[in-house]
Chains A and B, each alone.
Chain A
Amino acid sequence: MPEITMLEAIREALFEEMERDPTVVALGEDIGVYGGAFKVTDGLLAKYGPERVIDTPISETAIVGAACGMSYLGLRPVAEMQFIDFIACCFNQVTNFVAKSHYRCGAPVPMVLRGPSGGGVHGGPFHSANPEMYFVHTPGLKVIYPSTAYDAKGLLKSAIRDNNPVLFFEHKFLYRRVKEEVPKTDYTVPIGKAIVRRQGRDLTILSYAAAVHTALEAAATLAKEGIEAEVIDLRTLLPLDKETILASVKKTNRLLVVHEDTKTGGIAGEIAALVCENAFDHLDAPISRVTGLDTPVPYSPPLEAEFLPSVEKVSVAARELAKY
């Protein structure tokens, strides 16, 4: 099996799902002839035609609204935000129309809303956002944020086959930086399941998306110092895999949450509350957080580096936690 990038894995998932099921259609800005701003959908139009691969006007509300309407007739649309930052333009359509549809009137919305997210590529305040928590706060949605090529492909397939609206965040720093062997055979990765990326006994580092790789790098450094960190990749933020989180905390008794999203209102706070409610007696130290700053994502490289969680910041926090 050849190694492929996360971007190629996402593209493979789209091709395979469109081949498997003619109700799968794609729509978004510049996804057809151009193949998408990051070329994720490259080749899709040539193969599946303009009825299934729809270039839209710059109208995020229309994209999400139309995808919702299509799903009401049994289609499974995959809508792209050119950058996930632009999801703010259709916030109402996502949170009020799509998310509440099944609860309030029994109308399922089997659609996927996907797009490139996250910082580290000097995109500045409007092309680097991690807006996942707005949607984790919205009952009715599912929120996925993978960190590997294998997971990206398997989770996107699960998302397309799910009967609920799924937001699929693709960390653009990882698009072409992570590579691995990904099966050509049809497989899925279940939504709502975290995975232990590295076993450890001294503390748990919970993370997702690009920060998982930061955490793993820090764990390798810490191992040389005799600190064995367990690294967990959440993969799905909504619904959260509480069992895996609590099991690891009960094992290591120390918890560090690492994410690129801002600290205030980031998922670390929710996880801290979850652990306090369910495993307080198992904690040997206060829960610690390494996150993005409570600022927009700045443009200039030294500013952005300061914003992002780094191996250094994670290592320092982990050492403090281990010796508490």
Chain B
Amino acid sequence: MQTRLTPEKQVDLYYYMQLNRQLEERLVRLFRQNKVVGGVYSSLGQEGISVGTSYALEARDWLAPMIRNIGALLVKGFKPRDIFTQHMAKVTSPTQGKDGTSHFGDLKVRHVVSPISMLGDLIPVMTGVAMAGRYLGQNIVAMTWIGDGGSSTGAFHEGLNFAATQRAPFVLILENNQWAYSTPVSKQVPLRDLADRAKAYGIASKVVDGNDVLAVYETTKAAVDECRAGRGPILIEAKTMRMKGHAQHDPAEYVPKPMFEFWKSQDPIARYEAYLAENKIWDAKRKAEVDARIERELDEDQRFAEGSPLPSAELAKEGVYCEGCHTVEAQWERAKKEVMPPASCIDAIWKINEFGAFAAKQEHIPRQASTGNGMKPAVQVPASGSAQPVEVDIDKQPALRVPFGRGPKDRAFERERQEKQPPPKHRHRHKGRRR
């Protein structure tokens, strides 16, 4: 794996993944001791995605985690105590016990939007974040995650389509962990690669091995750079496996055992440890230091959380409305006069370049590839291949031909297609004969 990350930062990736895993293992123990109020939604086996994707963002960028993206919160600077206290519903938690799990954020400093349980809703919200950032001249990128299951929601479609029409600097990570609660991906989506959904929006997409943290990082970094340069949005499918049930209550007996065994061999942390050793990025001593640091930090924060009180009952009534408790301020990084008259004044008329008929009839108009909007077409990164996406020149790609097209090129295409195919065989039907 080629990477531009320094050895220090490569060890950093391990630190966050292992911190993510050890934190969740402690949460499971606390759950069994009845110290967690709600559920624990394990991201075991998916740490490489949370960490690798969010590590590609800069401090000014925005993200919104999903329930299994605790690793992304850690990378963004939240502490294990925030996660512990959230799960244990303590008053010291970021939401003071009003919400649990990863459902918290920080708009001012860390630029983290709090998720909700309804899947897909973050996609339009982060599209708005991306649009506002661009409007204010901040040059930010917005990122969120969605699962294989959540990619079937209406909000996914509405949000990604709107992001595409706006060319929003927005990266969507589609974490395909094979299971939506108990339903396998094959029963949810009739696609091999969920990244193919991007084609419907005319945006670029990439597929990456989600259990290869460096590949995840490099792929995401390239996408973030593209978006920052104005070529967003981009959809990245990260293939992985949810190694536990939906949450602690679910033993996941519906998952075939060989499937678990296969994915266990793909464990992102074990693979990365081997990589770090093979490439001499670290030695046993350095690993021991990092592991000790993780234990120390978790010990301290767990102690803090367990020692924290629950909120007092009066808090239930507070905070429904913002009544001066928060300031709403936009951070302008461009001149305001650019968005005020006279600079903002335009002729309010549509400029229509393409009249909507069959493309073959309008050859004076430059053709666009199937990925549309002048965007780069879908690029796939092989599981263990180079992290650098393969650039495809769309102008050199054969244009999409439809068999019912009537233009000269479409007719030629259809003729050629028929010549290649043997004539269809006459099929006999024996209706009613089969018993």
Contacts and interface: CB of A to CB of B under 8 A. Distances in A.
A97 B225 CA distance: 29
Interface stretch (B72-80, B189-197, B315-323, B388-396): B315-323
A286 interface: no
Interface string A14-43: 000001001101000000110000000001
A69 B103 contact: no
A266 interface: no
B259 interface: no
Contact of A23 (B107, B128, B330, B345): B330
A189 interface: no
Contacts of B336: 22
B328 A110 contact: yes
A108 B329 CA distance: 11
B170 to A, nearest CB: 10
Interface stretch (A51-59, A147-155, A246-254, A311-319): A51-59
Interface in A5-20: 19
B199 interface: no
A67 to B, nearest CB: 6
A65 B125 contact: yes
Which residue, of B123, B347, B348, has the highest number of chain A Cβ atoms within 10 A?
B348
Contacts of B117: 96
A140 B320 contact: yes
A69 B348 contact: no
Interface in A189-217: none
B159 interface: yes
B21 to A, nearest CB: 25
B344 A73 contact: no
A139 B320 CA distance: 7
Nearest to B159: A62
A64 B118 CA distance: 15
A70 B128 CA distance: 5
Interface residues of A, number: 56
Contacts of B132: 69-70, 72-75
Contacts of B159: 59, 61-62, 65-66
B383 interface: no
**A22, A73, A139 interface centre (most CB from chain B within 10 Å):** A73
Contact of B341 (A47, A96, A108): A47
Contacts of B162: 56-57, 59, 62-63, 66
Contacts of B319: 102-103, 106
A47 B326 CA distance: 31
B114 interface: yes
A125 B30 CA distance: 53
B128 A66 contact: yes
B13 interface: no
Given A51-B135, A56-B162, A105-B103, A70 B322 contact: no
B134 to A, nearest CB: 8
Given A33-B350, A62-B161, A106-B319, A52 B344 contact: yes
B347 A46 contact: yes
Contacts of A106: 95, 319, 325-326
A62 B346 contact: no
Nearest to B340: A22
B125 A74 contact: no
Contact of A103 (B161, B320, B339): B320
A53 to B, nearest CB: 9
Given A47-B345, A73-B132, A73-B136, A107 B114 contact: yes
Interface string B119-142: 001011111111111011010001
Contacts of B114: 101, 104-105, 107
Contacts of B166: 54
A282 interface: no
Interface string A120-143: 000000000000000000011010
Shortest 7 CB-CB distances between A and B: which pairs?
Answer: A69-B128, A65-B124, A74-B330, A66-B128, A49-B344, A59-B158, A62-B162
20 contacts: A22-B339, A23-B330, A33-B349, A47-B341, A49-B343, A49-B345, A51-B339, A57-B165, A65-B125, A70-B135, A71-B328, A72-B107, A73-B107, A75-B132, A96-B116, A96-B121, A102-B320, A104-B103, A105-B114, A108-B328
Interface of A: 19, 22-23, 25, 32-33, 43, 45-52, 54, 56-57, 59-77, 92-93, 96-97, 100-108, 110, 139-140, 142, 163-164
Given A49-B345, A92-B118, 15 more contacts: A48-B340, A48-B344, A57-B158, A57-B161, A59-B161, A61-B124, A66-B125, A73-B136, A75-B136, A93-B121, A96-B116, A97-B118, A97-B125, A102-B319, A164-B322
